[in-house]
A and B are shown apart, each in its own frame.
Chain A
Amino acid sequence: MKYKILTLLIILFLLGCGRTPTDVKKVASLPPILPDYIDVTIPPGIAPLNFAVVNDKEEVQRIDVTIKGANGDELHTNGKYADFNIDKWHKLTEENRGKKLTVSVCAKIAGEWRQYDDFTINVSPYPLDEWGLTYRRIAPGYEVYSKMGIYQRDLGNFNEFSIIENTMTDGQCYNCHTANRTNPNDFVFHVRGEHGSTMISKGGDCTWLKASNDTLGGSMVYPYWHPSGRYCAFSTNQTRQGFHISGPKRLEVFDLSSDVLVYDTEKNEILLDTLLNTKAWSENTPSFSPDGKWLYFTTCYQQEYPLKHKEEQYNLCRIAFDEKTGNFGSQVDTIFNAVALDKSVTWPRPSYDGKYILFTLSDYGYFSIWHKESDQWLLNTATGEARLAEEINSNDADSFHNWSDNSRWVVFTSRRNDGLYSNLYLTCIDDNGYFSKPFLLPQANPEEYYTQSLYSFNTPDFTKTRVDFNSRAAVDAILSDERIPAQVR
């Protein structure tokens, strides 16, 4: 009997051998982890920040990670990468709202356990009330795309669900899925190509509009909802692409013309205004203020393309909007004069509390994801001052963004990982208008996911609840080509 026990003990010892840190050597540096979650700020209840330790020269055989809360509670994991139990992670983050988590990392490299300096993860006191994110996932291609679609992701775990994929319609392209202030009951998206259309969904009722309207001179793209849910603003970009022959730039997107319009979902009417439909200027990327009284948009002097594409620089402007009559004001105000800085504004997104407008600034143009120099800027609506949001920017393209409903969290796209594939980052804004260090959208096995993924994430937004969308019915509608022409008022 005792031999059996001895044998069992030997087996257990051998199995355990090398799995837990022994003879640990201290390393006076922070652990080289992927993704970089060191000192980031997260909302309670977010999916676990799983990570890997990376070492270019030697294989990381195993890691051992312990996370301690401020109250002494712990979470431990040991494996090829840090893979935390979701329920325990949620419990730990909920119990440490507004406090710091201390992370201790040991890595076994070349047969030797190394103990790195501890780092912290801040748990924000501000909740992220949204269920998850919506985004389009597509290869960052040029003229062709293979599998792509609009997806939703549960932020509390790693589950992703498709809203609509182009496998359903043999290669159709979907873009610009936009909900009204993160509420998925009202949303709009645009279908490009042969069966093109703009779909407006209100409380589950879908209206399929003609993709382009001759009167408008273009499609209805880059939508943004009026807070009342009655109106939706669009621009009508007649888009062209140019391919750089030499690096590092690869692609430019510019418009032969563009105007801004507002669509009245109740009357199926397009509201135009001469101030938003000028010939000499291109109006673009509209958004409403959270009180619905202002329509923000960007505008640039229409250039000769592609020859003068670098002179295409947009300012941020606004015009009054009366939701009762659907009338526009008689004056356009310039909110941010980017041209004076020899720069160009795009994607203005007001925070829903009305305090800020987050926008992207690049050297020229508006399709900032292909501009390495593009950065996030924050405009304080009370003072009218704008500043470079250095704390969230990178050396590569930082672009499209959206706010959470409580205006505490921002999701944005960035190509900081490799310069080509855009990923999603989340950040929290404090009471002084400063952002926390952004963190990469968590994945179950993030190293494998992000090193092998050949997709870009774009047009991200928060969604209050899971999007309930009958994609089969939508596909039938897309293929039927039955479209309602919107009337121009």
Chain B
Amino acid sequence: MSQIIISVGREFGSGGRVIAEELAKRFNLPIYDRHLITEIAEKTGLSTDEIEALDEAPKSRLTSRRVRGFSNSIEDNIAEMQFDFIRKKAESGESFVVVGRCSESKLRDFDCLVSLFIIGDMKAKIKRVMEIYDMDEEEAEDFISKKDKKRKRYHNYHVGLHWGDSRLYDLTVNSSRLGIDKTIDFLETYIKARMSK
């Protein structure tokens, strides 16, 4: 396979982003995650902080409207710009890793797509979030729940299918079972098998 696109969806705190970064390193591929934010910031003149606040966020239903495919919501337009960006990259023949952005559905027409969804046990996710964000247990659980709710609404609105539904992905993996490193090893083997097909 000359082109490979690895799409990594993830629950918050599951280590999905770290897994995506490591896979990008092992396969020597560019990764589109934070890069997508700076790309859009440059294009819109908004700051990266402003884009980050609107990134992978659902629109407010009360302050936005959609007319014949046009939307006044900045969240919607940022999402559309990101979808266009990854689609153009895919169409250009580039191989890359992309984190989130409904990429498993937006790029599903590409045979070279390997779509992964990383989940984790709540206890493990809380522990991880407590360490990274310096939070207590209750705060971490609340934070995870809010982030996942936001991602779910964003995904379901733009795709119309359920976020995390295993039928959307090639593999859904619980990173708490093998730990982050061994999960990466496992996924590397799977991707290599797909590439040699």
Question: Do A and B associate with each other?
Answer: no
Residues of A within 8 A of B (CB): none
Using a CB–CB cutoff of 8 Å, the interface residues on chain B facing chain A are none
